[in-house]
């Protein structure tokens, strides 16, 4: 039983977990997948039920999972979290390609979402023929200068380090989907250019490890203002999902303006 009625396209796509989407006249277009496995979907919010007929995007939007029990638990944990869930209840954690997510969040460091999207768009058009995300092999073989040319700056060498580890098997992304979470963090952070925040993003958004809690500047604000002296474990085994509601809420609801 798919839960399409729970899905809000705008809130899910614009909540900073993916970077290849666009909006035009009520239609949302999502592109995902690596190299020849590129997939594209265009759909409007009032036809969101059509996604149930698409096996790939049903999984991409995590429609096989029911979030209602989790949201009830969130409401009991904290009134602030409850407000964040009520603010945008249609946010879901996407099932993205693990390599694309990892590489995207290496790009994200000390960067803003608009510029991240531009860089990733240029990466795809420069290094692939069909608009797919470049493979780890491709980027492992790219020159540092060719990456700086599309705006990666100091992140260029980090991208090459990460791509090389994935391409040569040093980092097994499939293993990250089932291993102990602290081991996953350790393996990711052994790569120069990946710290705790990018590691948690790769695990949460690329490996669907829902207990990971990326702590960026916005989440540090949330914690210091609303949960002083506490840490993310108060949000329970699905802290990563709670994090996504809080992140979207604090950035867009206007309380910090």
- 197 noted as active-site residue: yes
**Which residue of 110, 174, 228, 257 would you call a contact of DNA, by CB under 7 A?**
110
Q: Which burial class, exposed, middle or buried, applies to 211 when counting CB atoms under 10 A from its CB (0-12, 13-18, 19+)?
A: middle
The CA distance from 58 to 131, in Å, is: 21
> At closest approach, how far in Å is the CB of 89 from DNA?
16
- Verify binding: residue 122, DNA, rule CB under 7 A: no
Q: Say how many residues touch DNA, by CB under 7 A.
A: 38
Return left, alpha or beta for 40; rule: phi > 0 is left, psi -120 to 50 is alpha, else beta: beta
The CA distance from 196 to 185, in Å, is: 7
Stretch that binds DNA, among 61-69, 104-112, 168-176, 177-185 (CB under 7 A): 104-112
For DNA, which is the closer residue by CB, 113 or 253? 113
Residue given tokens 């609303």 in the structure block: 226
- Verify binding: residue 16, DNA, rule CB under 7 A: yes
Q: Give the active site residue among 71, 197, 220, 257.
A: 197
Provide the sign of the torsion angle of the four alpha carbons 171, 39, 28, 84, taken in this order. Answer: negative
**Which residue of 72, 76, 115, 186 would you call a contact of DNA, by CB under 7 A?**
115
For 55, half-sphere exposure in the C-beta direction (CA atoms, 13 angstrom radius) is: 0
**Which residue of 52, 148, 179, 226 would you call a contact of DNA, by CB under 7 A?**
148
The CA distance from 32 to 21, in Å, is: 9
Write out the residues near DNA by the rule CB under 7 A.
15-17, 105, 108-116, 148, 151, 153-154, 189, 191-199, 201, 214-219, 243-244, 247, 251
């Amino acid at each position: 039983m798919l839960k399409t009625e729970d899905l809000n396209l705008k809130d899910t796509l614009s909540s900073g977990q993916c970077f290849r989407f666009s909006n035009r006249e009520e239609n949302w277009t999502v592109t995902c997948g690596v190299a020849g496995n590129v997939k594209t979907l265009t759909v409007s919010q009032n036809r969101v039920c059509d996604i149930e007929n698409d096996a790939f995007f049903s999984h991409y939007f995590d429609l096989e999972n029911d979030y209602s029990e989790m949201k009830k638990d969130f409401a009991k944990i904290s009134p602030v979290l409850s407000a964040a869930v009520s603010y945008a209840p249609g946010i879901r954690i996407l099932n993205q390609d693990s390599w694309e997510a990892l590489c995207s969040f290496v790009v994200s460091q000390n960067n803003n979402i608009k510029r991240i999207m531009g860089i990733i768009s240029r990466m795809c058009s420069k290094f692939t023929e069909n608009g797919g995300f470049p493979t780890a092999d491709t980027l492992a073989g790219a020159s540092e200068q060719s990456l700086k040319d599309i705006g990666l700056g100091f992140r260029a060498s980090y991208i090459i380090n990460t791509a090389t580890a994935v391409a040569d098997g040093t980092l097994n992304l499939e293993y990250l989907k089932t291993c102990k979470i602290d081991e996953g963090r350790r393996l990711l952070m052994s790569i120069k250019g990946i710290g705790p925040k990018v590691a948690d993003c790769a695990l949460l958004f690329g490996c669907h490890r829902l207990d990971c809690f990326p702590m960026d500047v916005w989440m540090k604000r949330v914690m210091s203002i609303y949960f002083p002296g506490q840490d993310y474990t108060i949000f329970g085994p699905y802290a990563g999902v709670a994090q996504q509601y809080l992140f979207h809420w604090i950035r867009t609801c206007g309380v910090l303006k």
